[in-house]
Amino acid sequence: MTAERDAADWIRSHAPGFTPRVGIILGSGLGAAAQSIAQVSSFRYQDIPGFPRSYVSGHAGQLILGHLQSAPVIAMQGRAHLYEGWSVEQATLPVRTMIELGISLLIVSNASGGINLRFRSGQTVLIDHHLNWMNGIRSPRNPALVAVEARSVMGVPVRTSCIYDPLWLGRAEKAAIELGFSLSRGTYLATLGPNYETRAEYRAFARMGADMVGMSTVPETIVASQHGIPTLAFSVITNVARPDAPTRTDHHEVLEWSQIAQSQLVPLIERLMVQYFS
* Active-site pick, 36, 45, 54, 59: 59
**Residue 258 is a catalytic residue:** no
For ligand HPA, which is the closer residue by CB, 113 or 230?
113
* Active-site pick, 71, 111, 175, 210: 111
Residues lying near ligand HPA in the complex (CB under 6 A) are found at 111-113, 196-197, 213-215, 238-239, 241, 249, 254
Q: What backbone torsions phi and psi does residue 95 show, to the nearest 5 degrees?
A: -65, -45
Cα separation, 173 vs 204, whole angstroms: 29
For ligand HPA, which is the closer residue by CB, 201 or 270?
201
For ligand HPA, which is the closer residue by CB, 112 or 226?
112
* Active-site pick, 7, 33, 215, 224: 215
Taking the complex as a whole, the smallest distance from the CB of residue 62 to ligand HPA amounts, in Å, to: 21
For ligand HPA, which is the closer residue by CB, 168 or 205?
205
**Residue 28 is a catalytic residue:** yes
CB 249 within 8 A of CB 196: yes
**Residue 130 is a catalytic residue:** no
Taking the complex as a whole, the smallest distance from the CB of residue 213 to ligand HPA amounts, in Å, to: 5
Taking the complex as a whole, the smallest distance from the CB of residue 56 to ligand HPA amounts, in Å, to: 11
For ligand HPA, which is the closer residue by CB, 213 or 268?
213
**Residue 14 is a catalytic residue:** no
Taking the complex as a whole, the smallest distance from the CB of residue 248 to ligand HPA amounts, in Å, to: 11
**Residue 216 is a catalytic residue:** yes
Cα separation, 72 vs 39, whole angstroms: 10
* Active-site pick, 71, 75, 76, 84: 84
**Residue 195 is a catalytic residue:** no
* Active-site pick, 32, 41, 67, 83: 83
Active-site residue set: 28, 59, 81, 83-84, 111, 215-216, 239, 251
